[in-house]
Amino acid sequence: MNKPSGEPSYPTPVPQDAAADESDEDFRLVALAQKGDMSAYDELVIRHRGKIYAMIRNMIKNDADAWDLSQDVFIKAWQALPRFEARARFSTWLYRISHNAVYDWARKRKMESAGELNDEIFDREKIDSSARTAPAFVESPDDALSNSELRVKIEAALAKLSVDHREAVILKDVQGLSYKEIADVMECSIGTVMSRLFYARQKLQTLLKDEYESR
């Protein structure tokens, strides 16, 4: 992998038809929701809750808090909806709110623990089991099967990255966002995104060397 540097002149990626149709439908629903149509907003929540929940869960590795934070994202999005100007995709805008929610969550946990803000707070073993929680749920047998050994290793490797690096790699390699969208979400330059991605992938490949080379 080549390490990117410098501020790029970024060619605008052409959206695929399906993504464009999805965005059009989002914008239509957003316009209705901005006029106070709650059922249109419900539809937006239903369309995007899976992506938001997955992104947050991959970031914080705490199912219950991810459940709560995802709801907060949609409540904050409703509050900010009048200011949404459709310059970006609705989903990108939601990722940005999620980014802030995750960082606020991390900051809050840091204050509660009165310790340093470091990556360990995202480690599953370090998470307080008595954290504010939604109804407890047990993973179904099917989910348990799909939660493969490799996934556990990847999650463990991700937990060793810094928050910024982890978010960059999750948004790019899991959520499939473009460089420009990631820069919008993380409020940084595209060059910074490329740099973070480069180092994050490099570290992950080192941590997952056995798995990665056996493929």
Partner 1 sequence: MNTNPDETRLALWLDDELTGTDLAEMDAWAATRPEQLTAREELRSFRNMMAANLPASEEPPFPDFFLSRVNQGIRDLQAAEAPAKPAAAVPFWKSWMMPLAACAGMVLAFGIGKRSNDAAGTLTAVPSVSPVVYTPEEGVDAEWFASTGAGANVIVLEGVAAIPDSTDFSETVYVPTVSESDRTATRETETSDSAKQ
Instruction: Report long-range pairs for 11-19 (Cβ below 8 Å, ≥24 apart).
Output: 12/180, 13/178, 13/180, 19/89
Assess 42 for contact with partner 1 (CB under 8 A).
yes
Q: CA 114, 118, 123: angle at the middle one, nearest 5? A: 100
State in angstroms the smallest separation of the CB of 28 from partner 1. Answer: 20
Q: What distance in Å separates the CA atoms of residue 176 and residue 174, rounded to the nearest whole number?
A: 6
> Is residue 83 within a helix (H) or strand (E), and if so which, with residue range?
none
Can residue 101 be called a binding residue for partner 1 (CB under 8 A)?
no
Q: CB nearer to partner 1: give 86 or 152.
A: 152
Q: Print burial letters for 74-91: b (CB count within 10 Å at least 16), e (below 16).
A: beebeeebeebeeebbbb
Nearest approach in angstroms of CB 22 to partner 1 is 12
Q: CA–CA separation, 37 vs 192, rounded Å?
A: 39
Q: Which CB atom, from 116 or from 143, has the smaller least distance to partner 1? A: 143
Whole-angstrom Cα distance, residue 56 to residue 201? 19
Q: Which is nearer to partner 1, 45 or 121 (CB)?
A: 45
50 binds partner 1 per the rule CB under 8 A: yes
| Other C-beta atoms lying within 10 Å of the C-beta of residue 156 | 14
Q: Is 150 an interacting residue with respect to partner 1 (CB under 8 A)? A: yes
List binders of partner 1 among 167-186 (CB under 8 A).
169-170, 172-176, 178-179
Q: Is 115 among the residues that bind partner 1 (CB under 8 A)?
A: no
The residues that touch partner 1, with contacts defined as CB under 8 A, are 1-6, 8-11, 13-14, 38, 41-42, 45-46, 49-51, 53-54, 57-58, 63, 66-67, 70-72, 74-75, 78-79, 134-135, 137, 148, 150-151, 154-155, 169-170, 172-176, 178-179, 190-191, 194, 201, 204-205, 208, 211-212, 215
